[in-house]
Amino acid sequence: MDSLLPSGADVHTYELSASNVADVAQADIIFLNGLDLEEQVGEIARTNANGPVIELTEGLPVIDGNPHLWLDAKLAVGYVERIRDELTNIDPDGRTVYEANATEYLEELATLDLEMELAILTIPAEDRRLVTFHDAYVYLAERYGLEVVAVVAPSPGQEPSARDISDLSDAIEGVPAVFKEPQFNADVLELVAEEQGVPVFDLLSDAYVDGVGTYIQLMRFNMNQLVEGLGGD
Ligand SMILES: [Zn+2]
């Protein structure tokens, strides 16, 4: 299995290289998140693929067209089941292996989901408020009882306006922490947070960083940052 994007790339705006396009044409199957998360990548995949192109969010409950469903570990279950079923479709001989691997991973997801839920419950209810860089956390917030109060960038690849910055400054007054994301320039958020005396933590969404190279590590990283930033224990 190969990933089309390099680690740390912004999936919303990433453009595929010529060698990526060759990989697309040779792949037996391509999995996309869908909902236009990978705008340019998705289009190239659909045009050049020889095998099936599967959108993993298809059939899952979508909020306002937002593509970041995997940040709710319960919704990630839907991705895993779909991957298992689609791999079995193109390679029926592998069924036993796909089923065993999926079952094992689904158990890990159930543990992760419970761990996230319990960890976030340790944050005082009035502090379960999220200010993040881009609008990636609606599903996480919905599942684990947080409220998204503001995002810095209205849409990925777009710089915040003076008006956005002033709204942001109002929104972060009194929140325990704000969260930047490593794949985006955080200058604006850091500046506004400093003015308000609010500490800045990291959250991961669409990209891995050094030391965090799997989905489960990404979710645990977020859990720890949320608990630390918002005053849980
Ligand atoms: Zn995103």
**What's the CA-to-centroid distance between 156 and ligand 1, angstroms?**
7
Q: What is the pTM of this model?
A: 0.93
- pLDDT, residue 145, reads 97
**What's the CA-to-centroid distance between 82 and ligand 1, angstroms?**
21
**What's the CA-to-centroid distance between 94 and ligand 1, angstroms?**
33
**What's the CA-to-centroid distance between 205 and ligand 1, angstroms?**
6
DSSP secondary structure string, 104-133? HHHHHHHHHHHHHHHHHHTS-GGG-EEEES
For residue 41, which of 74, 71, 67, 62 has the smallest C-alpha distance?
67
- pLDDT, residue 156, reads 62
pLDDT digits 0-9 by tens, 174-196: 899 999 998 888 888 999 999 99
**What's the CA-to-centroid distance between 232 and ligand 1, angstroms?**
26
pLDDT digits 0-9 by tens, 104-113: 999 999 999 9
Region 126-130: mean pLDDT is 96
**What's the CA-to-centroid distance between 165 and ligand 1, angstroms?**
20
**What's the CA-to-centroid distance between 32 and ligand 1, angstroms?**
13
**What's the CA-to-centroid distance between 129 and ligand 1, angstroms?**
19
- Look up residue 61 and give its two tokens: 């409950």
**What's the CA-to-centroid distance between 100 and ligand 1, angstroms?**
31
For residue 11, which of 205, 201, 151 has the smallest C-alpha distance?
205
Say what percent of the chain tops pLDDT 70: 98
Region 204-220: mean pLDDT is 94
CA distance 191 to 60: 37
**What's the CA-to-centroid distance between 75 and ligand 1, angstroms?**
16
**What's the CA-to-centroid distance between 233 and ligand 1, angstroms?**
28
Region 70-93: mean pLDDT is 98
CA distance 33 to 58: 9
Region 85-112: mean pLDDT is 98
Q: Which residues surround ligand 1, an ion (CB under 5 A)?
A: 136, 206
Region 15-33: mean pLDDT is 91
pLDDT digits 0-9 by tens, 29-76: 999 999 999 888 899 999 999 999 999 999 999 999 999 999 999 999
Region 210-225: mean pLDDT is 96
**What's the CA-to-centroid distance between 145 and ligand 1, angstroms?**
20
